[in-house]
Amino acid sequence: MSDIPLPQSENDPVLSRIEVLVADITTLNVDVIVNAANESLLGGSGVDGAIHNAAGPELLEHNKTLDGCKTGLAVITPSFNLASRSIKHIIHTVGPIWREVTDNPLPGQPNVNAKIGYTLEDTLLASCYMQALTLTTNHKLETIAFPSIATGVYNFPKPRAAKIAFGHIFGYLSNYAPNPETDFPKKVTICCFSQADADLYIQTIATKDDWM
């Protein structure tokens, strides 16, 4: 695992609460980790498989009692075997499957998303981050780690996903949890699974004033 210093983080009180790591998310020392799940919540490959393996079969049994989770929404569960580390909870969220051409989400009406320059997938991915952060606030959890949701099996373009992820994490902390003494979460980890992904986030953050 490598801890990567962010550009300008010393001078920016919000940026100093965001870190980028290269790691297996199940090994982190945080209160809650986010799972990039599918709508069944019954496990899969990628980070979902790693989290189910590490949490153990009780997680699957628990999730069978839930009614799944729609794309863009999030649910919180116990962490089962991961509690032996510091991880107390898992937030399962379902990222959008990337499609090159997005259908109009409201047939017969103007496609508002397309007109203002973002796709339905962008909105749904943003919602994953906002929902997970809101659960973290409501459950008073201090530290949360995100994988790069939807950028594996679901094929969301990585540079686009990095902007959405960082932009919404930064925006959420700035607007909804500005005081780390009293607000939750206090710290957000972006957990990458390769150095190349981490480099992309560092670049995205370094150029944030150009695109945010």
Asked if 133 touches ligand AR6 (CB under 6 A), the answer is no
Rounded distance between C-alpha atoms, residue 187 and residue 129, angstroms: 14
* CB contact set of 22 (below 8 Å; sequence gap of 6+): 1, 2, 4, 191, 192, 193, 194, 195, 197, 198
Indicate if 48 belongs to the active site. yes
State which H helix or E strand residue 32 sits in: strand 32-37
Asked if 18 touches ligand AR6 (CB under 6 A), the answer is no
The pair phi, psi for residue 169, each rounded to 5°, is -65, -50
Give the bridge partners for 22, in sequence order. Answer: 2, 192
- Classified as helix, coil or strand, 188 is strand
Rounded distance between C-alpha atoms, residue 206 and residue 211, angstroms: 10
CA-derived radius of gyration, the chain: 17
Range in contact with ligand AR6 (rule: CB under 6 A) among 9-17, 32-40, 109-117, 170-178: 32-40
Under 8 Å between Cβ of 32 and 91 = yes
Contacts to ligand AR6 from residues 77-116, by CB under 6 A: 95
Cβ proximity to ligand AR6, 21 vs 78, nearer residue: 21
Asked if 154 touches ligand AR6 (CB under 6 A), the answer is yes
The active-site residue out of 31, 48, 122, 197 is 48
Asked if 152 touches ligand AR6 (CB under 6 A), the answer is yes
- Site size toward ligand AR6 (CB under 6 A) is 24
Rounded distance between C-alpha atoms, residue 190 and residue 171, angstroms: 15
Cβ proximity to ligand AR6, 99 vs 140, nearer residue: 99
Pick one of 75, 149, 202, 205: the residue that binds ligand AR6 (CB under 6 A): 149
Pick one of 6, 19, 31, 48: the residue that binds ligand AR6 (CB under 6 A): 48
CB of 67 to ligand AR6, least distance (A): 17
CB of 40 to ligand AR6, least distance (A): 8
For residue 161, give the nearest of 192, 188, 122, 117 by alpha carbon.
122
Pick one of 79, 151, 189, 204: the residue that binds ligand AR6 (CB under 6 A): 151
Pick one of 91, 136, 144, 147: the residue that binds ligand AR6 (CB under 6 A): 147
Give the binding site for ligand AR6 (CB under 6 A): 24-26, 36-38, 44-48, 50, 95, 147-154, 191, 193, 197
